[in-house]
């Protein structure tokens, strides 16, 4: 369960303060597939950062599985992410100096999990990259890189997966396959998926849509594909 309560985020800019998010509250239940949508500059990415504990809010709180992220130190938040959170980024964010397999292993390696090798191999096979495991990111196409990123996001069996414009850098058909992969993993593993996008077609795959505009939640509705 992911609970956002009255989240506000402001940045100082010169002698003014810019408020990017204002009193955002919602609850996302386990196993949901949610899309956070809105135009550029509406505060989507900032919200995602707060929900994942990558950043701290100026006011309000985020509770992940009943743990208030604000009460945790930076390292404790990192450990929590390692255990419960997965990420998929628009720009893939693979570590260029690691092979596909090594990239996927990282979250488990960081925890000292012995099953890293077998689990990473299995997930890469599942995203269709069984024959590319030892390739470095630079040798993979965009779609392949994003599949590696998804395998990495799922390797630690997260309770929630955050995806930031996961198809933004991909062509339509590749993007579609990525979304289907996310849906499949959401369905099979019961992982909560939170996608941030301005792509309405992508958002249409979600079962709930939260719309932001100028830092405010302007719409929060169930959606049936």
Partner 1 sequence: MTMRWRALVALAWRDTRTTRRRLVLSMSSIAIGVAALVAVDSYSANVVRSIHVQARSLLGADLSVSASRPLPAQVTALLDSLHARGATDTRVTTFSSMALVSGSEGTRLVQVRAMGAGAPYYGVIETSPADKWQDLQSGPYAIVDSSLLVALNANIGDTLSLGYARFAILATLRNVPGDIGIAASLGPRVYIPDRYLGATRLLTFGSRAQYEALVKLPSSVNPDALAKAHRDLFDSLQVRARSVADTERSLTRSIEQLGRFLGLVGLIALLLGGIGVASAMRAYMAEKIDTIAILRCLGASGSQVFAIYLIEAAGLGLAGAAMGVVLGVAAQMALPHVLGSFIPVDVTPQLEWIPVLGGLALGTWVGALFALGPVLGVRNVTPLQVLRRDTDDAAQRAARSPWRDPARLAAGAVLMASVVAVCMARAESAIFGLWMSVAIGAAIGATWLAAVACARGASRLATVPSRFVVRHGVANLERPGNQTRPVVLALGFGVFLLGTLALVQGSLLRELASTADASAANLAFFDVQTDQAFLLDTMLRQRDYPVLARVPIVPMRIAALASPRRAKSETRRETKGASPRASERPSWAIRREYRSSYRDSIAPSERLVAGHWWKTDGPDRDGVFEISLEQSLAEELGVVLGDTIAWDVQGVRIRTRVTSLREVQWTRFEPNFFVVFQPAALREAPQSFVLLTRVRDDAERAKLQRDAVQRFPNISTIDLSLIENAVGKILDRVSVAVRFMALFSVVTGALVLVSALAASRRQRVREGVLLKTLGATRGQIASMLLTEYALLGAIGSAAGIVLAVGGAWAAMHFIFQAQFALAPLPLAVVAVATMVLTVVIGLVAARDVFAETPMTALREV
Given the rule CB under 8 A, which residues bind partner 1?
Answer: 45, 48-49, 52, 54-55, 74-75, 78-83, 85, 87, 89-91, 93, 95-98, 102, 106-107, 109-112, 116, 136, 138-142, 152, 156, 164
Name the minimum Å distance from CB 225 to partner 1. 27
Of 50, 52, 62, 87, which is closest to residue 3 (Cα–Cα)? 62
Name the minimum Å distance from CB 221 to partner 1. 25
Name the minimum Å distance from CB 129 to partner 1. 16
26 close to 4: Cβ distance less than 8 angstroms: yes
- Taking the least distance from each CB to partner 1, the nearer of 71 and 97 is 97
Name the minimum Å distance from CB 171 to partner 1. 12
Name the minimum Å distance from CB 106 to partner 1. 5
Q: Write 61-69 long-range contacts (CB < 8 A, 24+).
A: 61/4, 61/5, 61/6, 61/7, 62/2, 62/3, 62/4, 62/5, 62/7, 63/1, 63/2, 63/3, 63/5, 64/1, 64/2, 64/159, 64/160, 65/1, 65/2, 65/159, 66/1
Burial class of residue 75 (count of CB atoms within 10 Å of its CB; 0-12, 13-18, 19+): exposed
- Taking the least distance from each CB to partner 1, the nearer of 40 and 224 is 40
- Taking the least distance from each CB to partner 1, the nearer of 95 and 204 is 95
Name the minimum Å distance from CB 85 to partner 1. 8
- Taking the least distance from each CB to partner 1, the nearer of 99 and 221 is 99
- Taking the least distance from each CB to partner 1, the nearer of 113 and 223 is 113
Of 57, 95, 66, which is closest to residue 3 (Cα–Cα)? 66
- Taking the least distance from each CB to partner 1, the nearer of 89 and 223 is 89
């Amino acid at each position: 369960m992911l609970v956002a309560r009255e989240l506000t985020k402001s940045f100082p800019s010169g002698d003014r303060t810019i408020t990017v998010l204002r009193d955002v509250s919602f609850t996302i239940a386990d196993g949901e597939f949610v899309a956070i949508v809105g135009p550029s500059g509406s505060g989507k990415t900032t919200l995602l950062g707060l929900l994942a504990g990558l950043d701290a809010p100026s006011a309000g709180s985020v509770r992940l599985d009943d743990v208030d992220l604000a009460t945790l130190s930076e390292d404790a938040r990192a450990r929590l992410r390692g255990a419960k959170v997965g990420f998929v980024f628009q720009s893939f964010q693979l570590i260029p100096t690691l092979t596909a397999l090594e990239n996927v292993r990282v979250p488990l390696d960081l925890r000292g999990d012995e099953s890293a090798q077998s689990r990473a191999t299995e997930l890469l096979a599942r995203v269709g990259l069984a024959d590319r495991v030892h390739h470095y990111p630079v040798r993979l196409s965009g779609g392949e890189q994003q599949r590696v990123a998804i395998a990495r996001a799922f390797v630690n069996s997260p309770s929630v997966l955050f995806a930031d414009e996961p198809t933004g850098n991909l062509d339509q058909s590749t993007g579609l396959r990525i979304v289907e992969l996310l849906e499949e993993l959401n369905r099979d593993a019961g992982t909560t998926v939170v996608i941030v996008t301005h792509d309405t077609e992508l958002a249409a795959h979600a079962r709930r849509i939260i719309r932001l505009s100028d830092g405010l939640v302007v719409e929060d509705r169930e959606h049936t594909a």
